[in-house]
A and B are shown apart, each in its own frame.
Chain A
Amino acid sequence: MTATGEQLDQTQVQLSHDEIRRYSRHLILPEIGLEGQKRLKAASVLLIGAGGLGSPLGVYLAAAGVGRIGLVDYDVVDESNLQRQIIHGTKDVGRPKLDSAADRIADINPFIQIDKYHEPLNSENALSILGDYDVIIDGTDNFPTRYLVNDACVILGKPNVYGSIFRFEGQVSVFYAKEGPCYRCLFPAPPPPGLVPSCADGGVLGVLPGTIGTLQATEAIKLITGAGEPLIGRLLLYDAAAMTFDTITLRKNPACPVCGPQPTITALIDYEEFCGVPAHDHSTYQEGGALVRAITVEEVKARLDAGDGLLILDVREPVEWQISTIEGTLRIPKAEVVNHLEQLPRDCDIVVCCKTGVRSADVIRQLQGQGYARLYNMAGGINAWARRIDPSLPVY
């Protein structure tokens, strides 16, 4: 079975002598051969995200000779990306990821075309961007964009090569509604905001996206060439700590709201509203519900200096306390806070802080649910404190 390979018209493409030398190890592989390599050249693949997963994807798909590669990313290269985003180098810090990735890809393989989309993917632009590609690869880092990519692929009838990572854990599948289940068949509803931290807040093993992104690249090449059995209807679960790969069976959910026989979602929706979280840090999405009041690090410092009775609650994990701390803070990891309410006075102002202000906002919502009122979220977290108040502390 092949998802897209047979639809690609490879009769129009020819390989030059230079290309034949370059791809010789593919050409002598019976499963690929000249026909498969022409299919790769005729194919177009869209990579959504040029980060951890996008790095090995871009490198290997370019090396394999995929004729046209589209890249979607709005971000710039940050030093903290280099631990895993191997398509970028130290010299690229501060450059748009698209430019850095495109340079690397062009160096690997000058025979292919690169299309750049320097914008966050959203419900307005997704169908027109995705519509121009044969295979879509989801390498994003947030739930709203994952539901968006899924729904757009179902609506357009495209295969979605899915991969995601968290700490030591990874998942891979091919969601292709024409031939099997979609992402929503497995995850009809997103997890509540705050349960699954982002890699920026929860950490990720640097080599993990290398493993998962490479598996996604393998699946994309199989879809294009028709080689092997694609991962449609199966979810591969990788645990790098236990070093286990397990495959579980996915089935089409007859009640799926997007790929089922009676779909209720037939056009793209507001995915930030659906997931209750912003899709990216350029987003203007504001979560509904109780207000979380912010306080700047400068205000916190001034109130501490004035001897103001202020409690700072640091809700990061113990490993993070070893990197940086503010003197005199009460330290309780986020998941433990509700078990230690006796340590939290209700008659004084409490400033909750974490690394950047995301987890602390979750804790404030939890404490509001326990009747606490005098709560402030330290904007920018301890990294803002390190940048603006105490430069002796590292930013991480």
Chain B
Amino acid sequence: MASIKIPTPLRQYTGGQAEVTISGRTVGEGLHDLVRQYPALGPHIYEDGVRRGFVNVFLGSEDIRFLQDEDTPLAPDSKLRIVPAIAGG
């Protein structure tokens, strides 16, 4: 199964889970499966069905915006991650 790493600021919506197993043929399907499992995450990832500007999704080391975005195919061993904006110093 593919998996997605959840950054610290969003773990409050995944019951503290740092990594979640997701299913889907594409990145978009995987993200929707994530939201299906943790509905409270939904509004933090999508707004009116559009992925929010501060949500950066990477497949391996590549930004999906420079691949095929949410149409990028997901393999069974794919590792996704959400890269958060954090500002502490």
Contact = CB atoms under 8 A, between A and B. Distances in A.
Interface residues of A, number: 50
A241 B5 CA distance: 13
Contacts of B56: 186-187
B18 A242 contact: yes
Contact of B88 (A166, A242, A249): A166
A239 B83 CA distance: 12
B63 A198 contact: no
B85 A187 contact: yes
A360 interface: no
Contact of A165 (B9, B13, B89): B89
10 contacts: A141-B88, A164-B86, A166-B86, A167-B8, A187-B85, A196-B84, A242-B18, A246-B81, A250-B63, A334-B12
Interface string A180-191: 000000111111
Contacts of B88: 52, 141, 164-166, 198-199, 202, 204
Contact of B12 (A139, A209, A335): A335
Nearest to A248: B61
B48 to A, nearest CB: 14
| Contact residues of B: prevailing secondary structure | mixed
Contacts of B86: 164-166, 169, 171, 196
Nearest to B47: A192
B61 A168 contact: no
A209 B89 contact: yes
A163 B89 contact: yes
Interface string B13-40: 1000010000000000000000000001
A327 B68 CA distance: 54
A237 B89 contact: no
A189 B89 contact: no
A249 B89 contact: no
B66 A196 contact: no
A253 B18 CA distance: 28
Nearest to B10: A195
A141 B12 CA distance: 21
B83 A146 contact: no
Contacts of A209: 89
B66 A251 contact: yes
Interface string A139-183: 111110010000000000000000111111101000000000000
A143 B86 CA distance: 8
A187 B62 CA distance: 15
Contacts of A36: none
A7 interface: no
Nearest to A188: B53
A260 to B, nearest CB: 14
Given A168-B8, A195-B44, A248-B61, A52 B54 contact: no
A247 interface: yes
Contacts of B52: 189
A143 B85 contact: yes
A164 B66 contact: no
B87 A143 contact: yes
A258 interface: no
A190 B85 contact: yes
A140 B54 contact: no
Interface in A11-60: 49, 51-54
Interface string A305-347: 0000000000000000000000000000111000100000000
A357 to B, nearest CB: 19
Interface in A273-313: none
B65 to A, nearest CB: 8
Nearest 9 A/B pairs, CB to CB: A189-B53, A166-B86, A335-B12, A199-B88, A141-B89, A165-B88, A248-B61, A191-B54, A196-B9
Given A141-B87, A202-B88, 10 more contacts: A54-B89, A141-B88, A164-B86, A165-B89, A168-B8, A169-B8, A186-B56, A196-B87, A247-B61, A335-B12
A142 B18 contact: no
